[in-house]
Amino acid sequence: MPWLRILSPAISMPMHRTIRRSRTRSLSITRSARFAATLTIATLFAVPPLDAQDLSRAGHDIGSPDALVEVVEFHDLGCSQCLRFTSSIFPALEREFIRTGKVRWKSVPFVLGSFRHSAFASEAAECAAEQGKYLPVHDALLARQAEWKASLSVPTALFASIARGAGVDTARFGACVRSERMRDRVRDHKAMARVLQVYGTPTFLVQRQKRILGAIPADQFAAFLREEVKEAQTRAARERMGRRPAP
């Protein structure tokens, strides 16, 4: 099977890197999404899998832990396509798949390396997570990324203002940020992305076997996830049948 370069127009990458060539195969998905999926969705055989223990400590979980389909999202808070995904695409996926218990989502912010103050923004999001405010602060950091990326110095006051607006205890938040204790966690996420050959954002790992590159349209993403859910439900039903005691 030939080696192909996976391309997507809706993905942020450092200028000094290119996406590593990956072995691909055709995926069986609905006709409405097949034309776009050939370039944006691939099954990767060479990417080392991340064991469950490491994955359980990474990122932030959204949705039911009992969902049959898992999506791990790697993104950079300074990435414009990550902002586009969070604001315009994720809400529809959340309504159909996460709130209904079909998909569990893991949000993993990491530093791609090409956006000013991104590492500090990730640390701010992790400090907010200590108070159960990861998502509102995460979303606000994305929404206001143009402001903090334009700052010549670390925008500590802006990050504190964002946290305050999300209901975070700013005294605890400030102490966390100043302590730099979240720096290792942010670095761990970056190292994890490197091991999994995540070179652009956003990147989505589905069932730890397939990946979606970039902020593809919501209808295409949803069509792909419907097929994944269907396949997972079929496998689960077969496993239940296999465990039934003989009459």
**130 pLDDT tier (thresholds 50, 70, 90):** very high
Ranking 23-32, 80-89, 142-151 by mean pLDDT, the lowest is 23-32
First to last CA, the chain: 47
Give the pLDDT confidence of 92-101 residue by residue, as tens digits: 999 999 999 9
User: Closest Cα to residue 108, out of 23, 173, 171, 196?
Assistant: 196
CA distances from 223 to 19, 142, 188, 220, 235 (A): 25, 26, 32, 5, 19
- Residue 9 preceded by cis peptide, ω within 30: no
> Which is more confident, 119 or 9?
119
Task: Output the CA angle 211-64-203, nearest 5 degrees.
Answer: 20
Say what the pLDDT of residue 4 is. Answer: 28
CATH for 35-236 (1.20.1560.10, 3.40.30.10, 3.30.43.10, 3.40.50.960): 3.40.30.10
- The rounded distance, in Å, linking the Cα atoms of 97 and 231 is 14
Strand ranges (E), 48-115: 60-62, 69-75, 103-109
d(CA 109, CA 21) in angstroms, rounded, equals 24
108-124 per-position pLDDT tens digit? 999 998 899 999 999 99
Residue by residue, DSSP assigns 134-199 as HHHHHHHHHHTHHHHHH-SS--HHHHHHHHHHTT--HHHHHHHHHHTTTHHHHHHHHHHHHHTT--
- Over residues 13-24, the mean pLDDT reads 42
> If DSSP codes are grouped into helix, strand and coil, which group holds residue 118?
helix
Does residue 83 register a pLDDT over 50? Answer: yes
In contact, 63 and 95? CB cutoff 8 Å = no
pLDDT at 51: 54
Asked which of 37-41, 85-89, 123-127 is least confident by mean pLDDT, the reply is 37-41
Per-residue confidence (pLDDT) for residue 215, from 0 to 100: 95
Q: Where are the domains of the chain?
A: 35-236
pLDDT at 155 over 70: yes
pLDDT score for 101 = 98
How many Cβ atoms are within 10 Å of 28's Cβ, its own excluded?
7
Q: Is the pLDDT of residue 128 over 60?
A: yes
The pLDDT mean for the chain works out to: 83
Could you read off the pLDDT of 38-76 as tens digits, one per residue? 444 544 444 455 554 467 788 999 999 999 999 999 999
Q: What is the pLDDT of residues 193-229, one digit of tens each?
A: 998 889 899 999 999 889 999 999 999 999 999 999 9
pLDDT at position 113: 83
**Predicted TM-score (pTM) of this structure:** 0.81
